[in-house]
A and B are shown apart, each in its own frame.
Chain A
Amino acid sequence: MRRGGLLLAALALVTGACGGDDDPKTVTLVSYESFPTDPENPLLVALDEFTEETGIEVEILIAGDTGTMLSKAELTAGNPEGDVMWGVDNTFLSRALDAEVFVPYTADGVDALPSDLTALVPNGEATPVDFGDVCVNYDIAALAEAGVEPPSSLADLTDPAYAGMFVVEDPATSSPGLAFLLATVVEFGEDGWEQYWRDLRANDVLVVDGWSQAYYEEFTFAGGSRPIVVSYGSSPPFEVLFASEPLDEAPTAVVESTCFRQVEFAGILRGTDVEDEARQLVDFLISERFQREVAMNLFVFPANPDVELAPEFTAYAAIPDDPLTMDPATIEANRADWIDRWTTIVTG
Chain B
Amino acid sequence: MTGSPLPTARRAPLRRDPNRLPRWFLAVLALPPAAFLAVLYIWPLATIATRGLSGGALADTLARPDTWRAAWFTTWQAFASTVLTVLVGLAPAWAVARFTFPGRRLLVSVLAAVFVLPTVVVGAAFVALLPDSLDRGIWAILGAHVVFNLAVVVRVVGAAWEQLPIGLERAAATLGASPWRTFLHVTCPLLRPAIVSASAIVFLFTFTSYGVIRVLGTAGTRTLEVEVWRRATQLGDTGGAAVLSILQLLALGALVAVSARIQRRGAHVLALDPHAGRPRPHARQRWLVVAAAGGAFVLVLVPLIALVERSLRVGDGYGLDAWRSLGDNEIRPGLRLGIDPLGALRNSAVTALWATLLALVIGGLAAVAITALRRSGRLLDAGLMLPLGTSAVTIGFGMLITFDTPPVDWRAGWWLVPLGQALVAVPFVVRTALAVLRSIDPDLRAAAATLGAPPLRAWTATTLPYLRRPIATAAGLAAAISLGEFGATSFLSRSGSETLPIAIERLLGRTGRLFQAQAFALSAILAAATIALVIVFDLAGNDRERS
Contacts and interface: CB of A to CB of B under 8 A. Distances in A.
B334 A79 contact: no
Contacts of A81: 412, 494-496
B234 A172 contact: yes
Nearest to B497: A18
B539 to A, nearest CB: 18
B495 A11 contact: no
B409 A213 contact: no
B234 to A, nearest CB: 5
A70 B235 CA distance: 9
A76 B403 CA distance: 10
Interface stretch (A49-57, A104-112, A339-347): A339-347
Interface string B379-408: 000000000000000000000100011100
A62 B337 contact: yes
Contact of B512 (A18, A41, A70, A217): A217
Interface string B328-365: 00011111111000000011011001100100000000
A64 interface: yes
Interface string A325-348: 000000000001001100110111
Interface in B201-232: 218-220, 230, 232
A213 B511 contact: yes
Interface string B234-258: 1111100000000000000000000
B69 interface: yes
B65 interface: yes
B510 interface: yes
B409 A71 contact: no
B502 to A, nearest CB: 12
Interface in B284-334: 331-334
A264 B354 CA distance: 40
A76 B494 contact: yes
A79 B64 contact: no
B334 A71 contact: no
B411 interface: yes
Contacts of B511: 208, 213, 217-218, 224
A101 to B, nearest CB: 10
Interface in B79-106: none
A37 interface: yes
A209 B346 CA distance: 27
A113 B353 CA distance: 52
B445 to A, nearest CB: 25
Given A79-B409, A340-B66, A344-B65, A18 B233 contact: no
Interface string A60-86: 011110011011101110110100000
A191 interface: no
B411 A79 contact: yes
A99 interface: yes
A187 to B, nearest CB: 24
Contacts of A347: 218-220
A17 B232 CA distance: 32
Contacts of A348: 65-66, 69, 219-220
Contacts of A336: 235, 237
A36 interface: yes
A61 B338 contact: yes
A14 B512 contact: no
Contacts of A70: 236
Interface in A1-54: 11, 14-15, 18-20, 30, 33-34, 36-38, 40-41
B274 interface: no
Contact of B219 (A64, A71, A99, A343): A343
Contacts of B236: 70-71, 74-75, 95, 99
B412 A11 contact: no
Contacts of A224: 511
Contacts of A212: 331, 335
B495 A62 contact: yes
B335 A64 contact: no
- Interface centre among A14, A33, A75, A76, by most chain B C-beta atoms within 10 angstroms, is A75
B442 interface: no
A15 B351 CA distance: 9
A71 B66 contact: no
A146 B353 CA distance: 56
Contacts of A40: 334
The 3 tightest CB contacts between A and B, nearest first, are A62-B338, A347-B219, A38-B334
Given A78-B406, A347-B219, A348-B65, 15 more contacts: A11-B353, A15-B354, A33-B335, A33-B338, A36-B335, A38-B335, A61-B496, A68-B233, A72-B494, A72-B495, A76-B494, A78-B409, A217-B510, A336-B235, A340-B64
10 contacts: A11-B353, A14-B350, A14-B353, A33-B336, A37-B335, A38-B334, A63-B338, A64-B495, A75-B411, A209-B509
